[in-house]
Structure 1
Amino acid sequence: LPLPVLDPLQPSAWPVQLRRYRAAASTRLVWRDVNGHDDVDATLRGATALAEDCLQLALAALEQEFAQRHGVVRADDGSAQRLVVFGLGKLGGGELNFSSDIDLVYAYPQAGESDGARPLAAEEYFARLGQRLARLLDETNADGFCHRVDLRLRPFGSAGRVALSFAGMDQYFQREGRDWERYAWIKARTVAGDIAAGEAWLETLRPFVYRRYLDYTALDGLREMKAAITAEVARSDRFDDIKRGPGGIREIEFLAQALQLIRGGREPALRERRLLPALRALVESGQMDAADGATLVEAYRFLRRLENRLQMLRDAQTHRLPADADDRLRIALGLGHADWDALLVALDEQRQCVATEFAALLAPRRGQAAPDALSSYWRVLPGGGDAAVLAEAGFADATGADQSLREFAQSLGVKSLSDAARARLDRVLPALLHAATRSPQPDAALRRVLGLLQAILRRTSYLALLDEQPSALTRLVNVLARSALLSERLVAFPLLLDELLDTRVAGPLPEP
């Protein structure tokens, strides 16, 4: 379809032109999907391209209007600045569903002032421009809407500024960035405005999204988000929601993103915005079994195809199964099933596969549990505890071990831990003690374990790794028990732990 031309002299016509263009292009997407000319991947790409076309057309027209009224905002070198429009979620990933809202975040390169007859500070200039852009796309008129716009993923959410400078964005993510935002910005992509500047800035955000070490703390954020979604589903009785419900689209996305975050800082191939290429990369890197990857790909395509058909019924942003009998039959037959019950059987099978994989990722991966006596001993230190517990566990110098553990419990590093990190330590330390008793040299292992813990306490990602990966914990203790030299090197250079504790590496242990 030819793109509409938005006449700068007729801004009142822009909403009509954009909505009619979107209606025509959407009709074409439906026709090609329903008649089998496009698979679900092509339909998602088409919906994404349509949203980007509308965004870019609308922004270009508004920029001309603002330039005539307020001039342009100049950078320090005198060059004109443009609004930077980041697309998050499925828009950023190039996987937009048929009737989705679009998640946008606005930014601009640097502070300044426009150079027109009615100048505005950069912050106000780009905030007004962004608000006009959202209204031009979002508002409903006689021709419907163009695209629903959601600006709530910006820094500080609805309470935050509509547009921030790159410096303001940097400051926010350095000081305020939260775990869920790491997931949100995995898919971020510049979709309109100054695309080159936006993509360059996204490169600077990479260390926030992908940490340079093995980052099992990503699972904590995932558990919190999943708990919130589960509570929301239960409150609103949305178990028929194929996006947020059990075994739904969101679980596939979260599963892939968590594995990306754990290792993406070390493995660039995992830094994929799109879900299906991300799953392939996880399989190729050994992070996911090939059969599990294939299962998730099949489920994702099934669910996204069903999601599109639900939305194509009435151009509604819905993810819930219909209650109307005619709608149910129409959906079932259109997807190649004999009736609604047959579709439900296929849907339940796919959702069960997803739910099983997701539960396996989030399940606590504890090794052999530390004896209750060791756990109880650690939890009452430094005021309580009895060295006899350590002697019974297998430490030859129980008195010396007891003294070392008391000093460790009273150390500034332990006392300074956050509540979450302390909870991890309370799980990990007894497990380390238990592993030390089963090592070739329990007393030496304990001394070296405590020395290493002091070196890594501020890097809670390592505590998370030991908490989530019992095989890594056991391997660490065995190595420390066997090699004083390697223990010293690890204390001096904790980043070496990434290689030692990589659960995919199964090299021989050093001789004692």
Structure 2
Amino acid sequence: MNREQLEKTLNASVYATQVFSIYREQIEEDYKLDKYLSLLSQCEIVQLTQKTLQDFENEQQWMKLLRVLRARLMFRWIWQDVNQLTNVVQLTKELSDFADVCINEAKDFSKKPLLEKYGEPIGCDGLVQDLIVIGMGKLGAQELNLSSDIDLIFAFDEQGETNGRKTIDVQQFCILWGQKLIYLLDHITADGFVFRVDMRLRPWGDGSPLAMSYAGLEKYLIQHGREWERYAWIKARIITGMEKGQELLAMTRPFVFRRYVDYTAFSAMRDMKSMIEKEVVRRNLQDDIKLGAGGIREIEFIVQVFQLIYGGAKLELQDRQCLVNLEHLAEVDLLAPSVVRELKDAYIFLRRVEHAIQALNDQQTQSLPTDEDLKARLLVGLGYSNWCLFLSDLHKKREVVKAQFKLLIQENIDGQVVEKNNEDLQQRLNVYLDERGQQLVEEFWSSNAVKKLPAQALERLKAFWPPFVELILDSESPQTALLRLMPLVESVLRRTVYLVMLIENKGALQRLIKMAVVSPWICQELTQYPVLLDDFLSMDFELPTRLDLQDAMRHQLLRVEADQIEDQMRVLRLFKKSHVLTVAASDVLAESPLMKVSDALTDIAEVSVETTLHLAYRAVADRFGFPVLKSGQRCTLDTKGFIVIGYGKLGGIELGYGSDLDLVFIHDLDEQADTDGLKQITSFEFALKVAQKFMSLMTTQTLDGRAYEIDTRLRPSGESGVLVTSLRAYGLYQEKSAWLWEHQALVRARSIAGDDCLREQFEQIRINVLTQIRDVQSVQHEVLKMRQKMKDHLGSNETEKKSGIFHLKQDAGGIVDIEFMAQYMVLAWSGTKPDLARYSDNVRILEDAARLGTLSNAEAQALIQAYLSERAESHRLALANHNMQVQATDWQDTREIVCKLWQKLIDPTAENVLDSQ
């Protein structure tokens, strides 16, 4: 062995001296093999550990082998560090790789006795559950020091139970598994320990179960995750259970890295730093090179605060390692390269000091020694000739860190909000406000809600108000914008982080004000459900695609437990509201085309219906087992024998913002056959319960409102009919018993969700019914009669007509006239021109009518343009919370086009309908 290097190692570390005296022969053999000059790759560490543990007789011997290996490696690492044969990055990586392999080996070893006793842990999805071990802190960042604790969190994918002779639930199995893993690594024997294990970073800390399900962890972070936990989760890394673990880690990213620029991190960082400083003083830790002023923790804080502020937008800042992120901060111009160089130099220096301190006695400490012998050893480890020279260099490094920390964190950087002259600003605002508006502002600032705000919340509100008013003054209608947005401001007073987000996202605040001027409906949605602001602030205002919506719904429901009905309903409601809000924003701000807006609104509804059907079907099947198809085949979730039909605007792909859903439920089950569950019901009862469960999931009023209002009166026999109908009964009803108006409704019917085979059969029934040969005069008569009834009940009254009011939907020349003409053409002519019955939306029906020669191209295009114009106006009115009554003079030309074609196709007597009004 190199005697000079050995002597230096032993002089630098009491612990190394003890290890050498016990394991001298093994250490000398290790030295011969690699001369202590080579560096270890991850693969070599894994191979070395596995080779060490390949031959043992019992648990005690397994624990001894791993502890002896740890001691030998620690001696080697101290040797290399003292003799500068490695560097901070390489050393911390090797230590972390060793921790990883020890955790994996302990996990595998501890599972075997549990399997023998309880069997495999099986989740609700039928899959074997794994123990997901998450490395936090320095282990997660692969920055372990020489005597680090390892911070772990245990999780598993799904609840369930074991399949052995003695069964326990999956959570209890994973708790026992984790407890054994900790014991194997943490327990101190005659040979020492492998790693001290700290589990306090798990949700609720020591007061919670040792292992938590994915869904439980997600729910905790969403509902209870604290600011300091965002910092902790920056460094989280999956150690075991890689496949499911990566999904879990992806779930935590939005909690850690907000999609907007999050300046609240500065304030939270100052609060955390203040707490640490108090602890430093209380415990007399001024000489702690980690927690003391200018220490390692302050460098980490500088890096992490920028990660939390900008990491959602700048993905390169989501790296776990401090040195890597310092480089990235220079690359994205958040820190000057010179500052980064100084901080990197200080960090590496401080980490070397940390290692030298911990090498003294293999203790988890970062405090400078006071004992003279230990001071002398520390100087040997760091290569200094005297203590004063070392302290001088240490002081210089810490002063650099202190200065940067003060500059970046301790000054009032919260968005660099400059106080404005509120009095002058209010006077400018008052010019645009009437007495009601001025009174509203005065009442707001003198309200109990504002007076009772905590100091930090009040500070945020005062910082928000000037830029808010400035942008209000720049808007088209300051009074309108202010009156509509003040309730929203009031609704978030207890969650003023939203105000900070809006201050720092000026573009989002401008968009919000512009939308407020156009749409009180949007303001009301955001006021009633402030959680939607999270999505609003990150919107790109592109209309969502069907695939985007399906992926979003799947992701949001992925970790909701099957029996968590309230959570399922919350997901359904917020999914619908947030995506409809996106469509409305795109409509208002990007002026998206009407047809694309309706397509997107329809897609949102269809994805909601598909998902709700799946949830309802699964819930009933879990309780009663699966039903039997008419064919005799037992159903599964894939062949469910159940479909949902969309009528009206949903069926016609023409949903608006306030549209309800007209739905009909159809099954193809053997109604008398029983389900195969422990508690059996007939297949008809099964279908009925699925429909009822569907309705409950969709329409139950919760704190998040309803997903959709649903109307099922278009089912066979209407309200007097059963909620769900067999396909055969539905077909017979349409062929033998349905009124003509029900066939009119069928024109706009379309299968939305469920069994693909059954959906095809429904479509064939629809085509067969619609393409029947009908007497044209009879169709004209029935359509005209139904249309007149609707005008009488829903249209403008005579007084309104005389005052120049036009009901955009129900009056002559309105939307319903065009819809009725399209339906009339399908019913009257598709017997000889079946292509007319292909589509359920009015525009394509009219296009086909022109293609097939039943309308001229000019007539079809005139109707289409009239229809789109009136529907576009109906969307605008819905966003403005107005009814469908408009000024008749503004629509005279459009109405004349529609009425002339109505006269030609259906009612020759309607010649002077406009003149009469």
Fold shared by both chains (TM-score > 0.5):
yes
The residue aligned with 1:463 is 499
Work out the CA distance in 2 between the residues paired with 1:338 and 1:446. 74
Partner in structure 2 of residue 287 of structure 1: 334
Establish whether residue 10 from structure 1 lines up as the match of residue 58 from structure 2.
Answer: yes
Following superposition, the deviation at residue 427 of structure 1 comes to 3.9
Out of 414, 423, 427, the residue aligned to residue 459 of structure 2 is 423
What is the CA–CA distance in structure 2 between the aligned matches of 1:489 and 1:239, rounded to whole Å?
58
CA distance in 1, matches of 2:390, 2:214: 48
CA apart distance, 1:306: 0.8
Q: 2:406 aligned with 1:359, yes or no?
A: yes
Question: What is the aligned partner in structure 2 of residue 163 from structure 1?
Answer: 211
| Shift, 1:431, TM fit | 7.2
Among candidates 358, 361, 364, match of residue 314 of structure 1: 361
Name the SS of the counterpart of 1:245 in structure 2. coil
Q: Is the contact made by 2:432 and 2:479 (CA closer than 8 Å) also made in structure 1?
A: no
Shift of 1:396: 5.2
- Match of 1:234? 281
Q: 1:154 aligns with which of 160, 183, 202?
A: 202
**Larger relative contact order (CA 8 Å, sep ≥ 6):** 1
Where does residue 303 of structure 2 map in the other structure?
Answer: 256
Report how many aligned residue pairs link the two structures.
474
For residues 264-319 of structure 1, what are the alpha-carbon distances to aligned partners after superposition, in whole Å with 9 as ceiling and x for unaligned? 12222211111111222222222222222222111111111110111011111110
Residue 397 to residue 111, structure 1, CA distance change in 2 (3 Å): closer
2:751 paired residue number: none
Kindly name which structure, 1 or 2, has the bigger radius of gyration based on alpha carbons. 2
- In the superposition, relative to structure 1, how do residues 58 and 398 fare at CA in structure 2: closer, same or farther (>3 Å)? closer
Say if 2:133 is the partner of 1:85. Answer: yes
2:374 to 327, 331, 335: 327
Pair 1:111 & 2:147 matched: no
Would the alpha carbon gap of residues 498 and 76 (structure 1) be closer, same or farther in structure 2, given more than 3 Å must change? closer
Which residue is 1:142 aligned to?
190
Rate the CA distance shift 1:77–1:234 in 2: closer, same or farther, 3 A: same
Confirm or deny: 8 A CA contact 1:490 1:496 kept in the other structure.
no
Q: What aligned pairs does 1:8-407 form with structure 2 within 5 A after superposition?
A: 9-192=57-240, 194-362=241-409, 363-365=411-413, 366-371=416-421, 374=422, 390-391=426-427, 402-406=438-442
* Alpha carbons of structure 1 residues 168 and 65: separation in structure 2 relative to 1, 3 Å: same
Whole-angstrom distance in 2 between the partners of 1:337 and 1:75: 58
Cα distance between partner residues in 1 of 2:56 and 2:400: 53
Residues 403, 76 of structure 1: CA spacing in aligned structure 2 closer, same or farther, 3 A cutoff?
Answer: closer
Match of 2:813 in 1: none
Report the Cα offset of residue 29 of structure 1: 1.1
Map of 2:912 onto structure 1 = none
In structure 2, the CA distance between the partners of 1:107 and 1:28, relative to structure 1 (3 Å rule), is: same
Give the partner amino acid of 1:364: N
Contact kept? 2:480, 2:517, Cα under 8 Å: no
CA distance 1:424–1:13, shift in 2 (3 Å): same
Gap change, CA 1:402 and 1:297, over 3 Å in 2: same
Asked if 2 retains the 8 angstrom alpha-carbon contact of 1:183 and 1:257, the reply is yes
Q: Which whole-Å CA distance do the structure 2 matches of 1:138 and 1:84 have between them? A: 18
CA deviation after TM superposition for structure 1 residue 149, in Å: 0.4
For the residue of structure 2 that corresponds to 1:426, the secondary structure is helix
The answer (yes or no) to whether the contact 1:6–1:57 under 8 Å persists in 2 is no
C-alpha separation in 2, matches of 1:350 and 1:496: 44
Shift of 1:454: 5.7
Alpha-carbon offset, residue 89 of structure 1? 0.2
* Residues 353-392 of structure 1, C-alpha deviations (whole Å, 9 max, x = no match): 1112222222113554345xx4xx7xxxxxxxxxx9955x
Change (3 A) 1:117 1:370: same
Q: 1:144 to 1:454 in 2, by over 3 A?
A: same
Q: Is the 8 A contact 1:390 1:398 kept in 2?
A: no
- Give how far 1:325 is off: 2.0
Aligned-residue sequence identity (percent) comes to 35
Paired residue type of 1:330: R
Structure 2, gaps ≥5 residues long: 1-44, 524-532, 541-917
Deviation, 1:464, is 2.4
For residue 76 of structure 1, report the CA deviation from its aligned partner. 3.7
Displacement of 1:412 in angstroms is: 11
For 2:145 and 2:519, how far apart are their aligned partners in 1?
48
Residue 98 of structure 1 aligns to which amino acid in structure 2? L
In 1, the alpha carbon distance for the partners of 2:426 and 2:157 equals 60
Q: Distance in 2 between matches of 1:449 and 1:226?
A: 38
2:114 and 2:382 map into 1 onto residues whose CA distance is 47
Q: Deviations over 1:81-113 (max 9, x none)?
A: 221111000000000111010000001111112
Distance 1:156 1:407, change over 3 A: same
Change (3 A) 1:488 1:292: farther
Counterparts of 1:389 and 1:270, CA distance in 2: 38
In the alignment, the residues of structure 1 paired with residue 418 and residue 539 of structure 2 have an alpha-carbon distance, to the nearest angstrom, of 23
Q: Is the 8 A contact 1:490 1:497 kept in 2?
A: no
Counterpart contact for 1:59–1:133, Cα < 8 Å: yes
Q: Distance in 1 between matches of 2:483 and 2:266?
A: 25
Q: Structure 1 residues 484 and 240, CA, compared in 2 at 3 Å: closer, same or farther?
A: closer
Structure 2 length normalisation: TM-score? Answer: 0.47
For each residue in 1:203-230, what CA deviation from the matched residue of structure 2 results, as whole angstroms up to 9, or x when unmatched? 0111111111111122232122111111
Q: Secondary structure at the match of 1:85?
A: strand
1:390–1:402 contact (8 Å) kept in structure 2: no
Shift of 1:170: 1.5
Distance 2:454 2:284 in 1: 35
In structure 2, what is the Cα distance between the partners aligned to 1:284 and 1:111? 44
> CA deviation digits over 1:455-486, x for unaligned, max 9?
5663744532577x7xx88x999x89xx9969
Aligned counterpart, 2:809 = none
Say which SS state the counterpart of residue 137 (structure 1) adopts: helix
Cα distance in 2 for residues equivalent to 1:291 and 1:499: 36
Of 312-321 and 51-60, the range deviating more from structure 2: 51-60
Other structure's SS at 2:74 match: helix
